[in-house]
């Protein structure tokens, strides 16, 4: 079959690889019909290189048709249409029963000291072959895949694999009071969707921050009060501008949908590299005025949130020894919640929103649909934020 493979830093290719097969009685194999490209894939593309092996198959946002099931998968049959969570979890252990599927005790990657394995996501997360491919082996298929109705196009349900539950969890963890306010840092697919969900779930005002024109425009069109990082001289000014709108206090909650680049000791260099691939017009002025720091967005969140408010991190952080302003965190009595999204924890709550009325705008959420063979270009376009790319969906 054809699959998108990682070959090295900023080098992905479409290769011919062996078809996946059932290996365990709890496996299924699906034929992938659509597969998302995610901000998390960009971490692999550039800075998680040390944790990748050339030939690794990328991707973790699949929807498709069941081809074959193992003997213990009684809930699915060949021909069923399914969307598959980005994490692999068993559904019956202590953690899964508590709605913490990313911490599944049956599947944890204990050799690396990590939680549940993820499709297409480094050896830290089990080196599981990913979903940007024609076929996908799905372990723990007795639990993970969600059956979805025939009819609507893939995009209606595709985002149940990652974007929707991630944004949903970001909003749930942010714990915005009814009629309250929330600021969302980063308006990529996750931040954009978090804004939509926050509004749908009763936040009175949603402030969105980014530095890419198309992303700001998209959010503004859905009622988000947007702030362009490029138009402020310092982080302090940005924080002051949003605090002015909230009686000087700051929003009840801040969602960080930016994240950072995971790192070892070479963190600063890695962030510089990430800045280096952004268009000069963006990276130059920003680097001058804002700390090009792997924790930049988190520091902004800490300054911005009101006293006693909540910070919800969905952007991925990977540092092991990052200094944080503990005095401010403690004195402001800030609550922080974070983690990979527990997909099946939220999926039943999200499903009623995936209707013809389309309150979250999933049907038109993707900016680009491309064949799998265009993956190398798609990665480059998405990383450089070219051509208005916000969400790219590949069609094997």
Ligand X SMILES: NC(=O)c1ccc[n+]([C@@H]2O[C@H](COP(=O)([O-])OP(=O)(O)OC[C@H]3O[C@@H](n4cnc5c(N)ncnc54)[C@H](O)[C@@H]3O)[C@@H](O)[C@H]2O)c1
Q: Is the dihedral of CA 167, 220, 362, 386 positive or negative?
A: negative
Residue 106: contacted member of Zn ion, ligand X, none (CB under 5 to 8 Å, by partner type): Zn ion
At closest approach, how far in Å is the CB of 36 from ligand X? 9
| 90 binding Zn ion? (CB under 5 A) | yes
| 314 binding ligand X? (CB under 6 A) | yes
Q: What is d(CA 188, CA 390) in angstroms, rounded to the nearest whole number?
A: 6
- Which of 211, 274, 302, 311 contacts ligand X by CB under 6 A? 211
Contacts of 127 (CB under 8 A, 6+ apart): 53, 56
The total number of residues shown for the chain amounts to 396
Shorter beta-carbon distance to ligand X: residue 148 or 316: 316
Residue 93: contacted member of Zn ion, ligand X, none (CB under 5 to 8 Å, by partner type): Zn ion
3-state helix, strand, coil in the chain (%, to 5): 35, 20, 45
Contact 107, 101 (CB under 8 A): no
Tokens of 355: 């209707």
Q: Which of residues 324-363 bind ligand X (CB under 6 A)?
A: 340-341
Q: What is d(CA 111, CA 335) in angstroms, rounded to the nearest whole number?
A: 31
| 38 binding ligand X? (CB under 6 A) | yes
Cα angle 104, 311, 183 (rounded to 5 degrees) comes to 125
| 34 binding ligand X? (CB under 6 A) | no
At closest approach, how far in Å is the CB of 51 from ligand X? 14
At closest approach, how far in Å is the CB of 180 from ligand X? 21
At residue 312, the 3 state secondary structure works out as strand
At residue 2, the 3 state secondary structure works out as strand
Q: Is 357 exposed, middle or buried (0-12, 13-18, 19+ CB in 10 A)?
A: exposed
Residue 136: contacted member of ligand X, Zn ion, none (CB under 5 to 8 Å, by partner type): none
Shorter beta-carbon distance to Zn ion: residue 22 or 96: 96
| 185 binding ligand X? (CB under 6 A) | yes
Q: Which of residues 253-282 bind ligand X (CB under 6 A)?
A: 257-259
C-alpha to C-alpha distances, 68 to 134, 286, 290, 363, nearest whole angstrom? 14, 50, 52, 29
- Which of 130, 145, 189, 250 contacts ligand X by CB under 6 A? 189
Contacts with ligand X by CB under 6 A lie at: 38-40, 42-43, 162, 166, 185-191, 209-212, 215, 229, 257-259, 296-297, 314-316, 340-341
Contacts with Zn ion by CB under 5 A lie at: 38, 40, 89-90, 93, 96, 104, 106, 162
């Amino acid at each position: 079959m054809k699959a998108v493979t990682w070959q090295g830093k900023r080098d992905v290719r479409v290769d011919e690889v062996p078809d996946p097969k059932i290996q365990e009685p709890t496996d299924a194999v699906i034929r992938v019909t659509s597969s998302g490209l995610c901000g998390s894939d960009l971490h692999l593309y550039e800075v998680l290189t040390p944790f990748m092996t050339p030939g690794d198959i990328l991707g973790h946002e699949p929807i498709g048709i069941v081809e074959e099931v193992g003997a213990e998968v009684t809930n699915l049959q060949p021909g069923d249409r399914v969307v598959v969570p980005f994490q692999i979890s068993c559904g019956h252990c202590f953690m899964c029963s508590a709605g913490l599927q990313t911490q599944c005790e049956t599947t944890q990657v204990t050799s690396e000291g990590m939680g549940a394995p993820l499709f297409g996501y480094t050896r830290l997360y089990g080196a599981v072959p990913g979903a940007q491919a024609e076929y996908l082996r799905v372990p723990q298929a007795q639990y993970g895949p969600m059956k979805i109705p025939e009819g609507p196009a893939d995009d209606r349900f595709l985002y149940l694999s990652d974007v929707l539950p991630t944004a949903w969890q970001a909003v749930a963890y942010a714990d915005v009071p009814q009629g309250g306010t929330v600021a969302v840092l980063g308006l990529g697919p996750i931040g954009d969707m978090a804004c939509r969900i926050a509004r749908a779930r009763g936040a009175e005002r949603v402030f969105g921050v980014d530095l890419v024109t198309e992303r700001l425009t998209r959010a503004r069109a859905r009622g988000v009060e947007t702030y362009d990082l490029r138009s402020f001289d310092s982080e302090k000014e940005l924080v002051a501008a949003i605090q002015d709108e909230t009686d000087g206090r700051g929003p009840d909650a801040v969602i960080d949908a930016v994240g950072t680049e995971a790192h070892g000791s070479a963190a600063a260099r890695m962030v510089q590299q990430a800045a280096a691939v952004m268009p000069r017009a963006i990276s130059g002025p920003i680097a001058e005025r804002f700390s090009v720091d792997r924790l930049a967005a988190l520091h902004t969140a800490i300054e911005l949130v009101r006293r006693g408010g909540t910070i919800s991190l969905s952007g991925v952080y990977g540092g092991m020894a990052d200094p944080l302003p503990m005095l401010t965190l403690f004195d402001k009595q800030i609550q922080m919640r974070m983690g990979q999204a527990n997909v099946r924890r939220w999926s039943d709550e999200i499903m009623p929103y995936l209707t013809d009325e389309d309150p979250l705008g999933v049907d038109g959420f993707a900016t680009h649909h491309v064949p799998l063979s265009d993956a190398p270009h798609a990665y480059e376009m998405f990383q450089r934020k070219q051509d208005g790319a916000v969400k790219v969906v590949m069609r094997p």
